[in-house]
Amino acid sequence: MKQTPTALLRAMFETAVGAAAAGAAVPAHLPKPPKGRTIVVGAGKAAAAMAASVEAHWRGPLEGLVVVPYGHGAPTSQIEVIEAAHPVPDAAGAQAAERVFAAVRGLSADDLVLSLMSGGASALLALPAPGLTLDDKRAVTRALLRSGAAIAEMNCVRKHLSAIKGGRLAAACAPAPVVTLVISDVPDDDPATVGSGPTIADPTTFADARGILQKYQIVLPPAVALHMARAEDETPKPGDGRLGAARAVIISDAGRAIAAAAAFAQSQGVTPVVLGTDIEGEARDVAAAQAVQVLWEKRARPFVLISGGETTVTVRGTGRGGRNSEYLLALALALNGAADIHAIAADTDGIDGVETNAGATITPDTLARAKSLGLDPASMLANNDAFGFFSALGDLVTTGPTRTNVNDFRAILVT
C-alpha cells in the first residue's frame, strides 16, 4: 500500500464520486437538436450540474428549468435552477413542479423535451394529485422515511400521490419527443424508479402502493386514505400512446463508480473484491453480514471488499444519523476491534440521510476510542445516533454536495 488505510479509503470514495460526475456523463448522450424548440426540464441532486453540461455542449437555443435541493445549484445561463427541500418536500418544490408542467404544455412534434433526472427528484417535484395537499404528501413521506421501506417501495407510493410522477410529465409533453438522461441512484438502475420516473411509463399500480402502505403500517391522512381507496386516474402504463416518443438512457450509475474505485485500489497494490453494486436491506443487517464475510475471507493481504446500493434504516430512536453512518457503527460493533480492518461508508451525493456529512470511517481502535470518551456504541446504535457517535470521534466524512448521486459507497480494507 502506498498510503495510510484511511487515506486510501477516502481516495477510493473520491475516485468513485469523480467517476459518477454529471458533467462528464452528459455530453456523449445528448440527442440531435430538433427543428423546433428545445425545452430542458429536470430534477434531482445532479440536475444543476447536468444542466450546466448541457449548456456547455449544446448547439442551438435552450430554455427550461431544473429543481435541485438547497445548496446543490450550479451556474447556468439559459436553464433556470430552482432550489427546494429534500427529502421532505416544501412549497418551493410544489411551485417548481407546476412551472415544469407549464413549460412542456402546447409543444409540437418538432420540439424536443430534454429531461435531466437523478436521485432526489421525487421530493423536489412535489405536485400533489388532485384532492391532496402538500402537507398530506409531507406526512406520508416522513412516515416512509422512518419505516425502513426500500426506495422502489417509497417511489411506488409517491407516484400514486402525485400529479407529475410515474410518466405523467411525459404524457403532458406529447406529441413532442422526450429524451431523459438518468443518473441512477437505485439498485437495479430502473429509470422508472429514479426520481419516481416523471417521464417513464409506470408498471406499478394503486394496489401495489396500498400493499406497501399496509406492509409498513403507515397511518394515512384522511384525504390520502380516500385517494388510495378510490384509485382513480392511474399512472400511464407501458404501451401508453402518449409516451410513444419518450426514451430514457442511464448515463451514470453505481457500477461505473465502483469499477473506478476498484481500479484505483488495484493501482495502490490492494486487491479489490466487489460484493455487488445493488445491495439492499437494513443497514445494520448488511453490516453484520459483511463483517462475517470479511472475517472469513481467505486471500492475500491487502484486499478491500467494495459494495454499493442503498440500505435502509428503520428509525426507532431519537438520535441523528443516515444509513451509511448507521451501517458503520453496526460494522464496528460486529468486528469488535478486529486487527487490521478499516472501513468507509458514504453517500456519493455528499449527504448521509439529512445530515451534513457524507458518511464516516472506522479503524481497528474505533470502539476503544469510543470507550475512552465515555460513549456507549450499542446504546447509540439502538437510538439511531450514529452521527453523534462519529462526530464525537472526529471520524465523519464531510464533502458537501457533490452534485451527483449514484448512491452508497462502502469499502472494508484488510491490511
The string of DSSP codes covering 16-85 is HHHHT-HHHHSGGGPPPP-SS-EEEEEESTTHHHHHHHHHHH--S--EEEEEEETT-----SSSEEEEE-
Cβ partners under 8 Å of residue 374, min gap 6: none
Instruction: Compute, in degrees rounded to 10, the torsion defined by CA atoms 183, 185, 188, 191.
Output: -40
Cβ partners under 8 Å of residue 7, min gap 6: none
396 pLDDT more than 80: yes
The pLDDT tens digits of the residues spanning 246-290 come to 999 999 999 999 999 999 999 999 999 999 999 999 999 999 999
**CB distance 149 to 216 below 8 Å:** yes
pLDDT at 187: 85
Strand 341-347 and strand 359-362: pairing? antiparallel
**CB distance 347 to 407 below 8 Å:** yes
Strand boundaries in 294-338, DSSP class E: 303-312
Q: Domains in the chain, ordered, with CATH?
A: 5-16+255-414 (3.40.1480.10), 22-252 (3.40.50.10180)
The pLDDT tens digits of the residues spanning 32-74 come to 999 999 999 999 999 999 999 999 999 999 999 999 999 999 9
Among residues of the chain, what percentage have pLDDT more than 90? 97
Please measure the distance between the N-terminal and C-terminal CA atoms of the chain and give it in whole angstroms. 8
In the numeric block, which cell numbers belong to residue 132?
Answer: 391532496
The pLDDT tens digits of the residues spanning 209-246 come to 999 999 999 999 999 999 999 999 999 999 999 999 99
The pLDDT tens digits of the residues spanning 318-376 come to 999 999 999 999 999 999 999 999 999 999 999 998 899 999 999 999 999 999 999 99
- pLDDT band for 2, please (50, 70, 90 cuts): confident
Strand boundaries in 138-233, DSSP class E: 178-183
